[in-house]
Amino acid sequence: MKKLIALLLAVLMAFSLVACADAPAGGDGDVTYAIVCKDASNPYMSRMVSGFKTACEALGVKCIEKSPETTSVDDQITIVNELVAQNVKAIAIAANDAAALEATLKAARDKGVAVVTLDSDTKGSQMFINQAGVTQVAQVLVDSVYDMTGGEGEFAVLSASSTATNQNSWIAAMKTIIEGDAKYAKLKWVETVYGDDESQKSTDETQNLMTKYPNLEVICCPTTVGVLACAQTVQNTEGCKIKVAGLGLPSEMKDYVGDDKVCPYMYLWNPIDVGSCAAYAIDAILDGKVGEVGTKFTAENETEYEVMAGDPADQQIIVGPPFAFNGDNIADWATVY
């Protein structure tokens, strides 16, 4: 019995000793920016974080990265609260829900924290760092489908989760573009399926599509996890003539992109640029450089951004147009990200 008490006391003492050594770690003088991803196991998100970190170093501020284990909005709320408690100066977040973070982010802003969203927007954010305009992305996706089907035929969309803000806005914009232009009248959109950004589920959904629609010509995947699973499945199915279009990471897709391969070309923006743009935008906001909608500002990275009206964020800026990867440039980009 005495031993047990002694042991517990010893553990307590050990804790306090470690504590004394560690206590001054988070002084109030440091300026810290934090970045919160959708989930911890997404390679695209980690590229974004690396861009954010590099920019933070260049700006001379500390950087914290925190991400939930799964794409859950509950965990993101917890994380934002933890960051606010640590007196960070700014939070950049890739939101897992378009509305549920509003109260939490507003509370953070009330405490003087600058809040921007990147990758996926949500209510309550000051500024959305838009990787590419929604219509720009939808347009290149629709054009890929148009080109790969040869102007007519069946195609399907394999998305991430059915609740992802960015996926749904691209899909909605694709619908508008196709319905609004007679040029696309012969394209038949058979179904939209959801792989939840999980390899196995995306593979299963691809196989279901192949069985259900024998005349399917193109599967369009506006998600990096989905496009990889889809390309792998199509490639491994003998005699399958389906083409894959979408948004993919060059390093993951390098074996599948090329003129005679399953994916002739695909698009993406540079996630590293998105991350660094977020850090520079935060810096500009904290410096008071960002004005009303319609004005322009030049960030520390010497790039000029136009402030536009955001939806649902208060404002937004666009990082740049989507970039095409094809057989000629994929090998180079595969070494970058």
Partner 1 sequence: MATKSGRTIAHVKERSLKDLLLRWESLLVLIFIAVNIMNASFSPYYLDAYNLFTSINGFLVKGMIALPMAYILLLGDIDLSVGGNVCLSATVLGIVYNATNNIWLGIAACLATGILCGALNGLILTKFTELAPMIVTLATNILFRGLSERILGDGSTGGMQSIDWFSKLYYGRVGPVPYMFIVFCVMAVVFGLVMHKTVFGRQMYAIGENKRAAAYAGIKVEKIRMFVFTLTGFICGFAAVFYCACLGSVKSNVAEGFDLEAISMCVLGGISTAGGKGTFLGAIIAIFIIGLLRYGLGLINLSGQTIRIVIGALLIAVVLFPTIRDLIKNRKAKK
Contact positions vs partner 1 (CB under 8 A):
1, 4-5, 8, 11-12, 15-16, 18-20, 22-23, 25-26, 40, 64, 66-70, 72-75, 77-79, 81-82, 84-87, 97-100, 102-103, 107, 161-163, 168, 194
CB of 66 to partner 1, least distance (A): 6
Nearest to 127 by CA among 105, 111, 110: 105
CB of 327 to partner 1, least distance (A): 34
The smaller minimum CB distance to partner 1, of residues 70 and 200, is found at 70
84 versus 90: smaller Cβ distance to partner 1: 84
Task: State how far the Cα of 301 lies from the Cα of 289, in Å rounded to an integer.
Answer: 13
| Between 153 and 312, CB nearer to partner 1 | 312
Instruction: Give burial (CB, 10 Å; 0-12/13-18/19+) of 28.
Output: exposed
| Rounded-to-integer distance, Cα 290 and Cα 278, Å | 13
In sequence order, the 6+-apart residues with CB closer than 8 A to the CB of 125 are 93, 95, 105, 115, 116, 117, 310, 312, 313, 314
CB of 191 to partner 1, least distance (A): 13
Name the token pair of 33.
Answer: 């920016």
Distances (CA, A) of 50 to 76, 185, 318: 20, 42, 19
When the beta carbons of 122 and 270 are compared against partner 1, the nearer one is 122
168 vs 301, beta carbon nearer partner 1: 168
The minimum distance between CB 313 and partner 1, in angstroms, equals 16
Q: How near is the Cβ of 218 to partner 1 at its closest, in Å?
A: 21
246: which strand partners?
Answer: 221
Closest CB to partner 1 among residues 25, 182? 25
Residue 23 or 182: the one with the smaller Cβ distance to partner 1 is 23
The span from the CA of 169 to the CA of 185, in Å, is 21
CA-closest candidate to residue 273, choices 50, 19, 13:
50
Identify which of residues 68 and 275 has a Cβ nearer to partner 1 in the complex.
68
Q: Which residues contact 116 (CB under 8 A, 6 or more apart)?
A: 90, 91, 92, 93, 125, 126, 127, 128, 129, 278, 281, 282, 285, 313
Cβ of residue 175: shortest distance to partner 1, in angstroms?
A: 13
Q: What DSSP state is assigned to residue 304?
A: E
How far apart, in whole angstroms, are the C-alpha atoms of residue 269 and residue 263?
17
Least distance to partner 1 from the beta carbon of 291, Å? 29
Phi and psi, residue 168, nearest 5°: -65, -35
In the bound complex, what is the minimum distance in angstroms from residue 81's beta carbon to partner 1?
5
CB of 229 to partner 1, least distance (A): 19
Q: Closer to partner 1 by CB, 165 or 270: give it.
A: 165
Contact in structure between 223 and 243 (CB atoms under 8 Å)? no
End-to-end CA distance of the chain: 58
